[in-house]
Amino acid sequence: MEFLAEYGSFLLKVVTLVVAVLILVGGIVSIAARNKKSSDGELVIKKVNEELEDNKDQLEYAVSSEGELKALEKQRKKEDKEKEKKEKKLAKTAPDPAVARKKRVYVIDFDGDIRASDVELMRKEITAILTLAEKNDEVVVRLESGGGMVHSYGFGASQLKRIRDRGIHLTVCVDMVAASGGYMMACLADRIVAAPFAIIGSIGVVAQLPNFSKVLKKYDVDYELFTAGEYKRTVTMFGENTDKAKEKFQADLEETHDLFKHHVKHHRPRVDIEAVATGDIWYGVQAIDHKLIDEVGTSDDYLVAACDNADVYTVRYEFKKTLQEKLGFAVQVGFERAVTRVLTSLQNQMQSKG
């Protein structure tokens, strides 16, 4: 009996502790949910000019002798004085701050998976930039994508169009790949800069799905599909696809391809659309001959050169981590991301000449 009493007392303490923990976690989740309503993320902004200067100073300090460092410090002070004089002179001749301010270049990154998931971040970054950017400014998008879902990349292209509609110069830099949906977005730019071996193009539409109807028949499994509307469902993974259904599905693909071609031709009228809209891809050094891009080069060189005449800022929106992610319980999110990565990897393998 004494053992049972001690066991009961111990069990009661455990239950009490578990209940207390659940109440505490519930309270934290409630607070986190309230906080998320007010703000689900924040902008992270860095000035590229300052980062370049800091890197240069660190390198100079590491490789220069004591005498060289003294000479550099003397030269730097002289340059600072001359810069200060120029700024004062500019302020006198242009008292209006809006006239005096330098051009600004805003840099955002788009790393596209098969679902174009980065569009959610990009739309917030573009919205923020458009509250401040002026027509003399520029937006640079470092874009990497092998394409994916048509509607997702169409929405991504619509976000970039917001920049063009405001009369702000848009440049897209491609270091590795802008194919299919990626090029659908890139072609909206006033200027496209691509690395020599970046993959460009794939102006086409593809759809593929397995069909298990023979397997189901083999094991005497019936598959019933009920629809209202002749074309509510054309081809299916489990039923037997008729010739009429296949023809309709192919017609839908052709219609999407025509829309894609019209989109590219509208934004890059110099392109011979019938010659490039074959689904083929080209390296950057070849793409310039087809007028798919405007310049061969890397995003690094483009931004370093921009720092000579403008203030260059990277703009990135970061979502705050939820309580579940902080506690390590985001299994579903992790699984979804893993699946997306696999599908994106398969998609990117299709966009290769190797």
pLDDT tens-digit readout, 196-240: 999 999 999 998 889 888 898 889 898 888 889 888 888 889 888
217: amino acid identity, one letter: K
**Active-site annotation holder among 88, 135, 214, 232:** 232
Q: Is 180 a catalytic residue?
A: yes
Calpha distance 104→306 (Å, rounded): 9
Which pLDDT score, from 0 to 100, does residue 38 have? 42
Domain boundaries, the chain: 43-60+103-202+280-350, 209-263
Q: Is 117 a catalytic residue?
A: no
**Active-site annotation holder among 124, 145, 152, 180:** 180
What tokens does 186 get?
A: 């890139």
Exposed, middle or buried, 130 (CB in 10 Å: 0-12/13-18/19+)?
A: middle
Tell me the C-alpha to C-alpha distance, in Å, between residue 338 and each of 114, 216, 331, 347: 12, 29, 10, 14
pLDDT digits 0-9 by tens, 13-43: 555 665 555 555 555 545 454 444 445 889 9
Classify domain 43-60+103-202+280-350 at the CATH class level: alpha beta
Closest by Cα among 107, 163, 120, 118 to 145? 118
197: amino acid identity, one letter: F
Which pLDDT score, from 0 to 100, does residue 327 have? 56
Which pLDDT score, from 0 to 100, does residue 89 have? 72
Confidence category of residue 60, pLDDT binned at 50, 70, 90: confident
16: amino acid identity, one letter: T
